[in-house]
Amino acid sequence: MRESTDLTNAQLWGKVTSLALQNSPDIGLRLHQLPEFVRAFAEIKLAAVRTNRDLGLLDNTRANAIEEAAVEVAHGELLDQFPLRVVAVGGGTSTNMNVNEVLASRATQLLPSGSELTIHPNDHVNRSQSSNDAYPTAARLLLARQALDVASALRNLARSFIRQAERHSGVERLGRTGWQDAVMVSVSEIHTAQAAAAERFADQFEVAAQALYAIPLGGTVLGTGVGAPDGFAAAVVQQLADITGLPLRPSANPIDAFAHADGYSALADTAARCASILYKLSHDLRVLSSGPNGGLSEVILPKLQPGSSIMPGKVNPVVPSMVGQASFSIRAAATAVSLAVAGGEPDFNSNSPSVVASLSPALTELAAVIPVFAEKCIDGLEWNRDRLAILASRPFDSLITRAEEDGYDAVASHAI
């Protein structure tokens, strides 16, 4: 049945992809470096070809070949056939055509031996679709899945904090306000609060993903559905939901979905705020572990590696430092997404490539650094109980109690 072909050396893309390569810079993030994005496109094409076959718009022979090619790509094969920059000339059209051309070429190879049929990237693979609806749908699939990955990592981080809360039950430390001594606080409750923050952001990432489950596929150009038959939109979204296992649904208002891309902003904003809290958590640990002789030295972090090339024996808080620096690019990416969302046209936001190029790496970074933070920092930290006892010699708790009886001014005159 199959034509014997060396897929490693064969070029499956066509003229549109070639032109986009010629007209784009040679550097930058490439589609093949985002395999989950390519997967999402392949799943869309798979849903479309099944729907077109069911509606009688494609013959079984062509449809079966396209389906087989789409499954291959969805499973991670042929990644080298997607060389375009994510932000390429032609934006979403070039990317969509890269997918269409590769699937058309590969499907042609998969036609029965001796078949005189051909498979066209536009007429067959792109049937009942537009770059206007295929690209944003692929972006939503990619980003929603990544949001769920970050949520999962955050829930694991929360469990690390809870384990520390249980380990340090009954331990107290001197709290501070304005960097000056204040009252005693519970270490267990501190870790429980940190876990609550991680869980809260996990919830928010899941909510942001749910918003992206409303997809514009079937709206073709500007949400009008032109070029697609009646019933295609609902059927193709259901097919895609079945393929991905995600609770996808058609956009409630197709015109709104094409004109306004604020779902991206909601996710980017969640990522930025999460990065800010991760920075806060990591910076707190850097301060509390400062020392061992010239700082607070309340927390002892795992000693992972030398901290200096010239000072023997020096150990730095390398993981909190990494997490803090990672937060900078994540927050910067959220700003880029905000600009891309605001920069849409009256009827369509064509800036989805910029959103993907900015937000997808940021979510990848979040999903990567959070487990390291949990496993190599939080899980192994210890509270220096001897140091805590020394610092807790004169908290303000008793002074607050005395002030309730003797008055603030009377106690303050003898407090320090």
**For residue 4, what is the DSSP state?**
P
Q: Name which of 349, 331, 239, 314 is nearest 280 in CA terms.
A: 331
Cα end-to-end span (Å), the chain = 90
Q: How many helices (H) and strands (E) does the chain have?
A: 14, 6
Count CA within 13 A, CB hemisphere, residue 101.
21
Distance between CA 315 and CA 311 in Å, rounded? 9
Handedness of CA 119, 125, 128, 132 (dihedral sign): negative
Q: Name which of 235, 174, 201 is nearest 51 in CA terms.
A: 235
Active-site entry in 130, 308, 309, 352? 308
The 3-class SS string of 383-411 reads ECHHHHHHHCCCCCHHHHHHHHHHCHHHH
The DSSP result for 86-145, as a single string, is SS-TTHHHHHHHHHHHHHHHHHHHHSPTT------IIIIITTT--HHHHHHHHHHHHHHH
Q: Is 398 a catalytic site residue?
A: no
Q: Name which of 83, 82, 97, 80 is nearest 134 in CA terms.
A: 97
Look up residue 134 and give its amino acid.
A
Considering just the CA atoms, what is the radius of gyration of the chain in Å? 28
Q: Please give the positions annotated as active site.
A: 308
